[in-house]
Amino acid sequence: MELGSREAFSRMGTLGIEEEFYIVDAEGYPTSGTDDLVYGRDPPAAVPEGFDHELFECTIEAQTETIEDPAEAAEALATVREALVEHAAADGYRIAAAGLHPAAKWRELDHVQKPRYQAQLDRIQYPQHRNTTAGLHVHVGVDDADKAVWVANRLRWHSPVLLALSANSPFWNGFDTGLASARAKVFENLPNTGIPSAFDDFDAFRRYERRMVETDSIADRGELWFDVRPHTGHGTVEVRAPDAQRDPEVTLALAEYVRALVVDYAERYEDGESLPTLRRELLDENKWRAIRHGHDAAFIDRDGEGTTALGEIVEAECDRLGVDGIREVYEAESGAARQRRIRDEEGADALRSDLLVSP
């Protein structure tokens, strides 16, 4: 049984970015490609560890190496993305990005045969069979296990903010859901997803993690798919709330914000600061607001007394943390709005083309 330890939490402020993408054909339709791109030949020299498959043969994950200096994040992300696009092109594939691909119809797509995923399909059934989602995961190193749990607890309030900023999945199985992030709603039909409860300390989280494995609720710790979690193997706080992005600048802005939050909360932990927390039900309400409204959402404040519009939150956070990227993301057209506009004005072919990732 593989479980993490306190010793994994040894470095502060490192950054890792994981992005899930769709493998598509020449017309931009999702197609089975992981056998070729993950197993068919050696990985590109720029990404020696290669790429990883996901549940469907049309989805693939690319990960940066551990980034020690955040100033190097843009180069690290570009290296991985360019390598993936070129790797795919060599087999006649293209790469697309969105929280849900508007042309992905799960009944017509193939699941991978890897035993881990076949076991999940057998255990979870319908919710996993239709899970064609693609997300963005950001890891930030934390140098103390109890600190990591404390930080993860605080980041729960920010998870809906990140989801709203990233909302990029209005279409599901070809139709408009009326949501800004249908991916989040589809994904949270799985067990062990959504915004978790708070944990008192690392020992409490580790007991929970161990109990889930020992009771055969999950096969391993990686199947705790919460929007934010301490990663007891990597020694990070991992934020899993955002939709996948076509534009690398949006990915970088969200990663910058997550890292700034983790570093800020780590300092507050060292200072012994205590912060108010919302009931999980109110955090869930905030997530629903992000799912439904995206950039137009307003969120219940941390004290539970009022609401604040996303734009006001973004301004306050940029001023407080000294970041700029999420301001630009908020002021620009959201991914969900862009997808709707392109499909309405130019049609489905143009939308599939617009989701393609450039080399």
- Provide the pairing of β-strand 52-53 with 236-239: unpaired
pLDDT tens string 117-137:
999 999 999 999 999 999 999
* 3-class secondary structure, 204: helix
Banded pLDDT at 35 (limits 50, 70, 90):
very high
| Domain range enclosing 29 | 6-354
Joined together, the tokens standing for residue 181 give: 């992030």
- The answer to whether residue 346 is domain-embedded is yes
Q: Please compute the mean of the pLDDT values over residues 154-183 and round it to a whole number.
A: 98
Q: How many residues does the chain have?
A: 359
Q: Please compute the mean of the pLDDT values over residues 15-22 and round it to a whole number.
A: 98
pLDDT reported for residue 247: 98
pLDDT reported for residue 276: 77
- The answer to whether residue 359 is domain-embedded is no
pLDDT reported for residue 277: 82
pLDDT reported for residue 245: 98
Joined together, the tokens standing for residue 68 give: 């020690």
Q: Examine the pLDDT at 60 and tell me if it is beyond 80.
A: yes
C-alpha pair distances (Å), 201 with each of 147, 226, 235, 276: 8, 17, 15, 17
User: In whole numbers, what is the pLDDT of the chain averaged over residues?
Assistant: 96
- Provide the pairing of β-strand 193-194 with 225-226: parallel
Joined together, the tokens standing for residue 124 give: 């979870």
CATH at 44: 3.30.590.20
- Asked if 15 contacts 138 with a C-beta cutoff of 8 angstroms, the reply is yes
Q: Please compute the mean of the pLDDT values over residues 10-18 and round it to a whole number.
A: 98
- Asked if 63 contacts 49 with a C-beta cutoff of 8 angstroms, the reply is yes
State percent of the chain over pLDDT 90: 92
- The answer to whether residue 1 is domain-embedded is no
Q: Rg of the Cα trace of the chain?
A: 19
Banded pLDDT at 2 (limits 50, 70, 90):
low
Q: Please compute the mean of the pLDDT values over residues 298-324 and round it to a whole number.
A: 97
**Residue 87: how many other CB atoms lie within 10 Å:** 25
pLDDT tens string 340-354:
999 999 999 999 999
Q: Please compute the mean of the pLDDT values over residues 11-30 and round it to a whole number.
A: 98
Phi–psi pair at 289, nearest 5 degrees: -60, -40
pLDDT tens string 66-114:
999 999 999 999 999 999 999 999 999 999 999 999 999 999 999 998 8
Q: Which residue has the tokens 């929007």?
A: 227
Q: Residue 198 class from Cβ within 10 Å (0-12 exposed, 13-18 middle, 19+ buried)?
A: middle
DSSP string, 113-133: --HHHHHHHHHH-HHHHT---
Q: Examine the pLDDT at 3 and tell me if it is beyond 90.
A: no
- The answer to whether residue 304 is domain-embedded is yes
Number of domains in the chain: 1
- Asked if 357 contacts 101 with a C-beta cutoff of 8 angstroms, the reply is no
Q: Examine the pLDDT at 1 and tell me if it is beyond 70.
A: no
- The answer to whether residue 149 is domain-embedded is yes
Q: Which residue has the tokens 């020449």?
A: 26
Q: Which of 280, 253, 275, 248 is nearest to 264 (CA)?
A: 275
Q: Please compute the mean of the pLDDT values over residues 250-275 and round it to a whole number.
A: 95
pLDDT reported for residue 55: 93
pLDDT reported for residue 309: 98
pLDDT reported for residue 195: 98
Q: Residue 153 class from Cβ within 10 Å (0-12 exposed, 13-18 middle, 19+ buried)?
A: buried
- The answer to whether residue 103 is domain-embedded is yes
Q: Residue 264 class from Cβ within 10 Å (0-12 exposed, 13-18 middle, 19+ buried)?
A: middle
* 3-class secondary structure, 251: helix
State percent of the chain over pLDDT 70: 99
Q: Please compute the mean of the pLDDT values over residues 228-237 and round it to a whole number.
A: 96
